[in-house]
A = this chain, B = another copy of it.
Amino acid sequence: MSLNPKLLGLLRTQFGERITTVATICRQHAIDESWHSPSPPDAVCYPETTQEVSQLVKLAVQFNTPLIPYGAGTSLEGHIFAPEGGVTVDLSRMNQLLAINSEDLDCVIQPGIRRKGLNDQLRHEGLFFPVDPGADASLGGMVATRASGTNAVRYGTMKDNVLALTAVMADGAIVHTGTRARKSAAGYDLTRLLVGSEGTLGIITEITLKLYPIPDYQAAARVTFPSTSAAVESAIQVVQFGVPIARMELMDAQGIKAINEYSKMNLPLLPTLFFEFHGSKSAVSEQADQVRDIVQEHDGSDYLWAIKAEDRNQLWHARHTAHYAVIATGQGSRGWTTDVCVPVSKLVDCIVQTRQDLESSFMDAPIIGHVGDGNFHVIFSVDPDNERQIKEVKRLNERLVERALQMDGTCTGEHGIGLGKKEWLQQEAGTAIKLMEIIKGALDPKGVLNPGKIVNHNPS
């Protein structure tokens, strides 16, 4: 495919050197962190304002040309691919922190700002933004995929932490979906409709986020267990007792093994839970006591406790490098990460059955989980050109997703649908898929916004 020359001319007039068709740049914009085969766009455009995004949309829609929003390229389901060609809208130049309202515990940002950079700037105000998907994703991408991660058990997901959005719709209209009020009952929740819409309903150009005071006191702990189920049962009990834990992450023995190899560490080769506690000193100490009681009941041992920031960081190092460690030490060069989420009462069964599947396969892989909310990942290291590997991982993933759906869970807790999970969404949503198609058709009748993702569009 290639861009309509007339459109390209108009875009050049508008954007000058900020529109490019250079093949290497187009290819770079089709590289994410998934195993899916990339499909590059025909051009990449770098708008710098909401107005420019609006102008871009108005031009593209005239030529029925797809627009693919792009933040940091850390997607795991092919969200940034351009299967129908078109123009990638690289929002990385819209990366400003526009306002911090410390008194209101909120801030207004542009979508291209990335998680770590944002928190670096917030730290001076004694504030932080908690949602942490691991990767240093752009906030626009995190909004668009309804990201969550290790802190979600305490602070919620992106759904819970966006107050309002500015977005450019498929007709180029600029809309504001909310105010800075902490709550509102004013009509349809357009903010939540756009959170998780993966760029298929509008292009997000401004975000109002909730912030939190940096806790007075933070502590971390690491505990090993004789079995994965003992670890998971501990985690579930922590949730059920209402302990306001900040993070609680599972890594099974296979994961620990990969970490040890990758980071030259010597962690015990046992299922492990990593905890983080936030609060006042006494609150943290009370939570830690509660957790210690619970893990002891489940034969947890080797309870390692860290308070100083550097000790905490070291303790969490294993968890944070897991994704890359697994890929590096596995059979292939790319990651394929599953993402089911089930009601916590089903989590032990789901993980144990998945563990059995993995052990009887030549593609055994570690399980890593945000077990506090029932979400876990199997991280496969695959060679995308190896058909046997891909076929086997497909089979394992299929069994896993079907298991999760039977347990009243979801095929994706936090990675989104993109291209990779569309057939599963059909199965999970059932008749509700038609609603999604109607909404897509009504808000983007020509199907120019990130076409092919989440649902198929039927251009009118």
Q: How far is the CA of A12 from the CA of B35 in the complex (A)?
A: 59
A183 near B439 with CB under 8 A, answer no
Pick the contact of A417: B178, B187, B414 (CB < 8 A).
B187
A159 touching B101 in the complex, CB below 8 Å, given contacts A240-B213, A373-B183: no
Does A410 sit within 8 A of B, measured CB to CB?
yes
Q: Mind listing 30 A-B residue pairs with CB under 8 Å?
A: A103-B344, A103-B345, A147-B185, A159-B189, A169-B435, A174-B431, A175-B431, A175-B434, A179-B409, A180-B409, A181-B341, A181-B375, A182-B343, A183-B373, A183-B413, A185-B412, A185-B413, A185-B416, A186-B410, A187-B455, A188-B193, A188-B201, A188-B435, A190-B436, A192-B192, A193-B193, A215-B242, A282-B286, A435-B443, A438-B442
Task: Give the distance to chain B from A368, nearest Cβ to Cβ, in Å.
Answer: 16
Q: With a CB–CB cut-off of 8 A, which chain B residues contact A177?
A: 432
Bound CA span A219–B343, Å = 32
- CB of A402 closer than 8 Å to a CB of B: no
Cβ of A455 to closest chain B Cβ, rounded Å: 7
Is B159 within 8 A of A236, CB to CB? no
- Given known pairs A184-B413, A188-B439, A439-B439, the reply for A176 and B432 (CB within 8 Å) is yes
A154 to chain B minimum Cβ distance, whole angstroms, is 11
How many chain copies? Answer: 2
Decide if A68 is an interface residue (CB 8 Å cutoff). no
**Stretch binding the partner chain, chosen from A55-63, A390-398, A421-429:** A421-429
Task: Assess whether A197 is interfacial by the CB under 8 Å rule.
Answer: yes
Q: Which of B160, B175, B183, B435 contacts A341 (CB 8 A)?
A: B183
User: From residue A97, how far is it (CB to closest CB) to chain B in Å?
Assistant: 17
Do the beta carbons of B286 and A188 come within 8 Å of each other? no
Q: Is A64 an interface residue (CB 8 A)?
A: no
* Total contacting residues, chain A, CB less than 8 A: 93
Contacts of A145 in B (CB 8 A): 185
Instruction: Tell whether, in the assembled complex, residue A196 and residue B190 are in contact, meaning their CB atoms are under 8 Å apart.
Output: no
Interface residue? A267 (CB, 8 A): no
Complex contacts, A432 vs chain B, CB 8 Å = 175-177, 190
Contact with B along A363-378 (1 / 0, CB 8 A): 0000000000111000
Shortest CB–CB separation between residue A369 and chain B, in angstroms? 13
A188 to B440, CA, bound (A): 9
Beyond A146-B189, A176-B432, A192-B192, 10 extra complex contacts between A and B, CB < 8 Å:
A146-B185, A173-B434, A181-B374, A181-B375, A183-B373, A183-B414, A186-B411, A187-B196, A189-B192, A213-B242
Q: Does chain B have a CB within 8 A of A454?
A: yes
Contact of A408 among B105, B152, B180 (CB under 8 A): B180
Interface centre among A188, A201, A244, A339 (most CB of B within 10 A): A188
Q: When chains A and B are docked, how far (Å) is the Cα of A341 from the Cα of B212?
A: 20
Asked whether, in the complex, the Cβ of B105 is within 8 Å of the Cβ of A159, the reply is: no
Whether A175 contacts B430 in the complex (CB less than 8 A), given A159-B192, A185-B145, comes out as yes
